Amino acid sequence: MPRTSKVWLSQEQQDDFELFARSRTLAARLVQRAQILLMAAAHKPDREIALALGIARQTVALWQERFVEQGIAGIEKDAPRSGRPRTILPPQIDEILRMTTRQTPPDATHWSTRTLAQVSKVSFSTVGRIWRSEASPCEDVQAEQ
């Protein structure tokens, strides 16, 4: 049994989505999402929409649900994805920052990314990224004095 849509469009939304669906300058994914919603508002079954657009039925259902739940904002951007898990955990980042601001390396006046990387057992580029993501280490030392 084909699933019927719960998508209802106001006249303004209908007009906007018709413009989106015909656009040659909008992102292709937004054009496709507009087409999905227009066909769903015309009470076409998900399977028919999927066949017409050459996409999976689950994709049709996803964008209909996102529109019903969030409105136009739900179809404008993709949902954030989890991405790759962190390999440098916050305690290790804190330790690198603590060493940077409160210790000096032997035979030197300050840490370089390479010397701190050797001691911390991370890459020098990781140390550089940590330093750039935080406030300047000099500001922290000056604030404590």
For residue 57, being part of any structural domain is answered with: yes
Which residue's structure tokens are 């054009």? 31
pLDDT in tens, 86-131: 889 999 999 999 999 999 998 889 999 999 999 999 999 999 999 9
Residue 4 confidence (pLDDT): 53
pTM of the predicted model as reported, rounded to 2 decimal places? 0.57
Tell whether the model's pLDDT for residue 47 goes beyond 90: yes
Answer yes or no: is 118 within a domain.
yes
- The answer to the question of residue 84 being in a domain is no
State which of 30, 46, 76 marks the end of a domain.
76
On whether both 71 and 96 belong to a single domain, the answer is no
HSE-up (13 A, CA, CB side) for residue 53 = 26
Residues 39-50 have a mean pLDDT of 93
- Parent domain of 105: 90-144
Evaluate whether residue 40 is within a structural domain: yes
97 and 68: one domain? no
Domain end, chosen from 76, 98, 126, is at 76
Residue 23 clears pLDDT 50, i.e. is over it: yes
Asked whether the predicted pLDDT for residue 141 surpasses 60, the reply is no
DSSP 10: -
Task: Report the pLDDT value the prediction gives residue 1, as an integer from 0 to 100.
Answer: 44
- Structural domains counted in the chain: 2
Mean pLDDT computed over 61-77:
90
Res 138 pLDDT > 70: no
| Average pLDDT of span 39-64 | 94
- Tell me, yes or no, whether 68 and 94 share the same domain: no
Domain membership of residue 3 (yes or no) is: no
Q: Would 4 be classed as within a structural domain?
A: no
Selected residue with higher pLDDT from 140 and 19: 19
Give residue 91's identity as a one-letter amino acid code: P
State the alpha helices, DSSP H only, in the chain: 11-22, 28-41, 46-53, 57-70, 72-76, 90-102, 113-120, 124-133, 137-144
Residue 85, in any domain of the structure: no
- Domain-embedded: residue 6: no
Do 44 and 67 belong to one domain? Answer: yes
